Amino acid sequence: MKLLRYGPSGREKPGIVDADGKIRDLSGIVADIDAETVSPKGLAKLAKVKVEKLPLVRGRPRIGPCIATPQKFVAIGLNYKDHAEEASLPIPSVPMVFTKFPSCLVGPNARVPLTSDRVDWEVEQVVVIGREAHRVPAARAWEHVAGFCVGQDVSDRALQFASKPPQFSLGKSAEAFGPIGPALVSLDEFADPDALVLRCWVDDELMQESTTRNLIFAVPELIEYISRYCVLRPGDLIFTGTPGGVGSVREPRRYLAPGETIVSEIEGIGRLSNLCVAEG
C-alpha cells in the first residue's frame, strides 16, 4: 500500500493511493499516518480496507510529509563506495551515524530556501520503522520495517564544513532540508527491497544514479547497528545514505541556485520535486 498525508500544512489528512493512482481519504479509518498506523497492527488493519470504497479526494491537494511527527530522524554518511571515493575518504568500517532534526521535514513538492551559495543535493532511500527495535539482529531486521519513502538530504556544505571536525546535523537541518515522500510504500510492495534504483536530477541534468544494492551497510545491518545503542520506535526514519554524484566534490564545484528544481526518484516509490528559492 501507498500511504500519504494531504491537505494544508499542519492540518494534513491521511490518504491511500488506489490502483489507478488516485488518492482516497483514510480519515474515517485512522487519524493520521503516524506511529500507530505504521505499526504491524495498524498496517494489518489497513490491509483489510476496501480502498475502492473510500471517498475519492478531488483536485490536486498539497501533499505533506508522509509520516507525522517521527521521534527520531537518523541519517547515515558515506554509505556508498563511490560517494566515499569521490570525497577522497576511506570506506567506513562501521556506519557513520548522525541526526537531522524532524523540524526540517517537508513534503514532496515543498520549496527549499537556500541558506548559502553552497547548498548540495543527496537523494536517499528512507526506511520507516514499523515495530520497536532494540538490539535487533540483522537476520530479523526486516520484521521492524513498515516501508520506504524517497528522501532528499539537502546539505549546506558551508555550514557543514565551517569547522574541523565538520558538524553535520545543523548543516542538514535547516528549514525544508528534509523533503520526503511522495508516499510511504509498505514493504510488501517490493519484490527485492535490497535492490531499488535511485536517481537525482537538478533541473534536467542527471546528477546521481545508483541502486541500493550498492549500499556499504544494507538496511538490516543499519538497523542492527543503530538499535544496539538506541531504541528505534514506529514512525522513526533512517536516511540510508547517498550515492556518488553530489555537487561539492565535482570539478568544477556545482551547487544549487534559486530557481532550480531538485528531482529525487526511487523506483517503486515515486519522486520528489523541490524548487529551490532564495532564503528570506
Q: Which pLDDT tens digit goes with each residue over 57-108? A: 999 999 999 999 899 999 999 999 999 899 888 999 999 999 999 999 999 9
In contact, 114 and 276? CB cutoff 8 Å: yes
Say how far apart CA 205 and CA 218 lie, in whole Å.
Answer: 28
Mean per-residue pLDDT over the chain, rounded = 97
Whether pLDDT at 223 is above 80: yes
In contact, 47 and 1? CB cutoff 8 Å: yes
The pLDDT value recorded for residue 164 is 87
Residue range 230-251, pLDDT digits in tens:
999 999 999 999 999 999 999 9
| Residues of each domain in the chain carrying CATH 3.90.850.10 | 73-278
The pLDDT value recorded for residue 165 is 87
The pLDDT value recorded for residue 280 is 77
Beta bridge partners of 232: 133
In contact, 238 and 223? CB cutoff 8 Å: yes
Looking at the chain, the whole-number percentage of residues with pLDDT higher than 90 is: 96
Residue whose grid cell is 527495535: 133
Q: Tell me the CATH class for 73-278.
A: alpha beta
In this structure, which amino acid lies at residue 127? Answer: V
Beta bridge partners of 133: 232
The pLDDT value recorded for residue 234 is 98
The pLDDT-based confidence of 167 (bands split at 50, 70, 90) is confident
- Side-chain half-sphere of 181: how many Cα atoms within 13 Å? 27
181: phi then psi, degrees, rounded to nearest 5: 135, -150
The pLDDT value recorded for residue 199 is 98
